[in-house]
Amino acid sequence: MPIPLTTALGKVVRRAALARGGGSAFPGLFVERLDPSYVRRVLATLPRGVVVVSGTNGKTTTTKIVVDLLESQGLRVFTNRTGSNFVRGVAAALLGAVDLRGHLPADIAVLELDEAHAVHFVKEVAPRYSLLLNVMRDQLDRFGEIDHTARMLQSIARATTDAVVVNRDDPRLGAQAFAEGIVGPALRSYGTSIEVSARFPSDDNLYGGSEGAPHPAPAVYVDDTQLDSFEGDRAQISYAGGAHSARLMLTGVYNVLNATAAIALTRAVLGDDLREPQMLEALSKVRPAFGRGETLQIDGQTCAMVLVKNPAGFRLALSSYDPADTATMIAINDNYADGRDMSWLWDVDFGSLRAGGVTTVGGVRAYDMALRLQYDDVPVGGVTPDPERALEEFLGATTGQDKRIYCTYTAMLAIRKVLGTKGALDKVIA
Amino acid sequence: MSRPVRILQLYPRDMNIYGDWGNTLVLKQRLTWHGYDPQILDYNPGDAFPDDVDLIVGGGGQDSGQGVIVDDLQGLGPRLHSLAGNGVPMLVVCGLYQLFGHHFDTVDGRRLPGIGLLDVHTVGGTTRLIGNITTRHPDVGDLVGYENHSGKTYLGAGAQPLATVVQGAGNNGEDGTEGAQHHHVLGTYLHGSVLPKNPRLADLLLEQAVRNRYGEFAPGAIDDRYADQARRVAMTRPR
Ligand SMILES: [Zn+2]
Torsional class of A144: left (φ above 0), alpha (ψ -120 to 50), beta (otherwise): left
Q: Where do the DSSP E strands lie in A232-276?
A: 234-239, 242-247
pLDDT digits (tens, 9 = 90+) for B114-168: 999 999 999 999 888 999 999 999 999 999 999 999 999 999 998 999 999 999 9
| pLDDT bucket at A211, cuts 50 / 70 / 90 | very low
| Of the ranges A187-201, A214-228, A334-348, B69-83, the best mean pLDDT one | B69-83
Tell me the sheet residues that pair with A226: A191, A238
Which of B18, B230, B234 comes nearest A139 by C-beta?
B18
| Predicted pLDDT at B88 | 98
- What domains can be seen in chain A, in order of their start residue? 3-284 (3.40.1190.10), 294-428 (3.90.190.20)
Percent of chain B surpassing pLDDT 90? 86
Inter-chain CB proximity A375 and B21 less than 8 Å: no
Q: Does B214 touch chain A (CB under 8 A)?
A: no
Q: What is the mean pLDDT of residues A336-358?
A: 93
Handedness of CA A254, A259, A262, A268 (dihedral sign): negative
Are B145 and B214 in contact, with CB atoms under 8 Å apart? no
Q: Does B18 touch chain A (CB under 8 A)?
A: yes
Cβ neighbors of B185 (< 8 A, separation 6 or more) are B84, B89, B90, B92, B100, B117, B118
Instruction: Give me the amino acid identity at A335.
Output: N
| pLDDT bucket at A339, cuts 50 / 70 / 90 | confident
Cα–Cα–Cα angle for B180, B185, B191, nearest 5°?
Answer: 65
Q: Is A421 helix (H, G, I), strand (E, B) or coil?
A: helix
| Predicted pLDDT at A228 | 93
Nearest-Å Rg of the Cα atoms of chain B is 17
Are A249 and A61 in contact, with CB atoms under 8 Å apart? no
Calculate the average pLDDT of chain A: 86
pLDDT digits (tens, 9 = 90+) for A127-141: 999 999 998 877 555
Contacts of A368 in chain B (CB under 8 A): 197, 230, 233-234
Mutual angle of helices A87-97 and A115-124, in 10-degree steps: 60
Inter-chain CB proximity A383 and B130 less than 8 Å: no
Residue A24 has pLDDT above 80, yes or no: no
Contacts of A342 in chain B (CB under 8 A): 19, 146, 192, 234
Are B216 and B43 in contact, with CB atoms under 8 Å apart? no
Q: Where do the DSSP E strands lie in A240-299?
A: 242-247, 292-298
Q: Are strands A234-239 and A242-247 parallel, antiparallel or unpaired?
A: antiparallel
Are A429 and A302 in contact, with CB atoms under 8 Å apart? yes
| pLDDT bucket at A213, cuts 50 / 70 / 90 | very low
User: How far is residue A318 from each of residues A98, A171, A351, A406, measured CA to CA in Å?
Assistant: 42, 22, 9, 9
Inter-chain CB proximity A364 and B29 less than 8 Å: no
Comparing A160 with A96, the larger pLDDT belongs to: A160
Query: Phi/psi of residue A359, each to 5°?
Result: -65, -45
- Superfamily (CATH H level) for B4-236: Class I glutamine amidotransferase (GATase) domain (3.40.50.880)
**Residue B162 C-alpha from the chain's centroid:** 10
| pLDDT bucket at A214, cuts 50 / 70 / 90 | very low
pLDDT digits (tens, 9 = 90+) for A265-306: 999 999 999 999 999 999 999 887 665 667 778 777 888 888
Measure A207 CA to nearest chain B CA, in Å: 7
Inter-chain CB proximity A343 and B22 less than 8 Å: yes
Q: What is the DSSP letter of B232?
A: H
Tell me the CA–centroid distance for residue B42 and ligand 1, in Å: 20
| Predicted pLDDT at A158 | 96
Cβ neighbors of B110 (< 8 A, separation 6 or more) are none
Percent of chain A surpassing pLDDT 90? 48
Residue A212 has pLDDT above 60, yes or no: no
Comparing A412 with B18, the larger pLDDT belongs to: A412
Lowest mean pLDDT among A304-313, B180-189, B217-226: A304-313
Q: What is the mean pLDDT of residues A106-120?
A: 91
